[in-house]
Amino acid sequence: MVQPKRNQTLCSYKSGSFNKTSSRVANGIIKFSKRKKITEVSGIEEEEAGAEVDIWNYVFGYAKLAVVKCAIELGIADVIENYGSPMPLPELATALRCEPSRLHRIMRFMVHYRIFKQEPINQHTVGFSSTPLSRRLIKGGEKSMVAFILLMCSPPWLASWHCLNARVLETGNNISPFEAANGKDLWSYTETNPDHNEVFNEAVVCYARLTVEAIIKGCPEVFDGVKSLVMSVASRHSHGLEASTLISIPHVVAVAPKSNSTENVAGNMFMSIPNADAAFLMWVLHDWDDEECIKIQCREAVPENKGKVIIVEAVLEANKDYELSFVELMLDMALMAGTRKGKERTLNEWSYVLQQSGFTRSNVKPIREVQSVIEAYP
Ligand SMILES: C[S@@+](CC[C@H](N)C(=O)[O-])C[C@H]1O[C@@H](n2cnc3c(N)ncnc32)[C@H](O)[C@@H]1O
């Protein structure tokens, strides 16, 4: 007989509330009844029940990422989307050249996490269908996050996380976990590992595309009157944003696509940034600490009276109710793992950096993405 725990009550816990199912044992059979009233358990029991569930999410936290990576590599989302109607397991297995029972287990996991839906085809057969989430796992898809997932799963990134604790210690040396794990800082590593350079650049492009789209939809006025724009290389792949000049470090520029209307400059933004009406810095400043940000030559790149620097970065704690605000904290951890001194910043921290850099005024505009748009004027 299965023994229920704690006063013969089993609780499942989701999203911080104790509200799902409870059970009682009658004649050796566990009977489930829906929604045990919250008032029937003490706060401590509620927390215990929550912890019991949450800890398993940590124990197997990596499993979700690993299964999604496996799905990307097999091309599951692409094949199901192209099939056009609910796809039965045998067809899916044949199309992917997978062993059916093992594929079934992978699909069962992903259906549980609502990555795919299972829908009836007829009385006896069910098939797998796409969801908005699975469409984000399609290579080259409109909202694809494939490249970003593959970067986060790449061996050098995974190795960095193992060195996070040493970085936090008082005795932690001045190198990033990435460097501790891989022997080189992020930029030197990508310079000498073309494969990882490609993985990194693809991830940046993938996210830049979505963010620029959100900026153009959410606050297109940011680009009003801007006739020339200097920006970092990856953002140029974004629809609807044309730069006159692109700047990045030499090995990134070397593999960047060329176009007649845009000049690609291999440079060092700490030395100089090519002049333009506006400089567009997306996910650049968060790689550096305050002193380093202040040294980046963006204010000098734009005209004193009518120029501006458009910064696209997370603003921590700006809107705690925003459903993506947890991502800002995830990114902050990724920056601690991947960079020497990079960090996400609160509004006060951004104000400090901008004032110290000599900007006279600035404003922040939220967009439907993790980042906000900060306009800073010399
Ligand atoms: C996290 S990525 C963000 C990329 C940016 N959103 C874009 O669209 O290219 C940071 C970028 O800063 C560039 N970078 C790093 N150090 C630099 C430097 N000293 N001068 C110019 N670019 C640099 C890297 O090549 C990388 O492309």
Q: Is 281 in the pocket of ligand 1 (CB under 6 A)?
A: no
Q: pLDDT at residue 25 above 90?
A: no
The owner of tokens 């929604």 is 35
Return the DSSP state at 88: P
Report whether pLDDT(236) > 80: no
pLDDT above 50 for 122: yes
Pocket flag, ligand 1, residue 287 (CB < 6 Å): yes
Residue whose CA is closest, atom 12 of ligand 1?
284
Q: Which two tokens stand for residue 15?
A: 């999203």
Is pLDDT at 3 greater than 50 in this prediction? no
Report how far residue 229's alpha carbon sits from residue 244's, in angstroms, rounded to the nearest whole number.
5
Q: Is 331 in the pocket of ligand 1 (CB under 6 A)?
A: no
Most distant CA pair in the chain: distance in Å? 82
Q: Under 8 Å CB-to-CB from 189, ≥6 apart: which residues?
A: 156, 178, 182, 183, 196
Active site residue 196: no
Pocket test for ligand 1, best of 189, 190, 237, 249 (most atoms within 8 A of CB): 249
- Each residue of 317-340: b (16+ CB within 10 Å) or e? eeeeeeeebebbeebbebbbbbbb
Tell me: the pLDDT tens digits for 130-172? 999 999 999 988 899 999 999 999 999 999 999 999 888 887 6
Yes or no: say if 248 and 266 are a contact pair by the CB < 8 Å rule: yes
Confidence of residue 319 (pLDDT cuts 50, 70, 90): confident
Q: Is there an atom of ligand 1 within 6 Å of 264 CB?
A: no
How many angstroms does the Cα of residue 169 sit away from the middle of ligand 1?
A: 28
Q: Answer for the pair 198, 254: CB distance below 8 angstroms, yes or no.
A: no
Q: Is 282 in the pocket of ligand 1 (CB under 6 A)?
A: yes
**Residue 350's closest CA among 299, 294, 304?**
294
Stretch 280-284: mean pLDDT: 93
Cβ atoms of 273 and 298 closer than 8 Å: yes
187 Cα: distance to centroid of ligand 1 (angstroms): 9
Instruction: Return the half-sphere exposure (C-beta side, CA atoms, 13 A cut-off) of residue 170.
Output: 0
Residue 242's pLDDT band, with cuts at 50, 70 and 90, is: confident
Q: How confident is the model at residue 61 (pLDDT cuts 50, 70, 90)?
A: very high
What pTM does this model have? 0.85
Residue 268 alpha carbon, nearest atom of ligand 1:
20
> 284 CA distance to ligand 1 centroid (A)?
6
Q: Take residue 167 and report the two structure tokens written for it.
A: 């970085």
Nearest residue (by CA) to ligand 1, atom 26, is 248
Q: 39: part of which helix (H) or strand (E)?
A: none
What's the sign of the alpha-carbon dihedral 182, 188, 189, 193?
negative
pLDDT at 69 over 70: yes
| Buried/exposed code over 44-60 (b: 16+ C-beta within 10 A; e: otherwise) | eebebbbeeeeeeeeee
Q: Would you say 211 and 367 are in contact if contact means Cβ atoms under 8 Å apart?
A: yes
Closest ligand 1 atom to the C-alpha of 233? 9
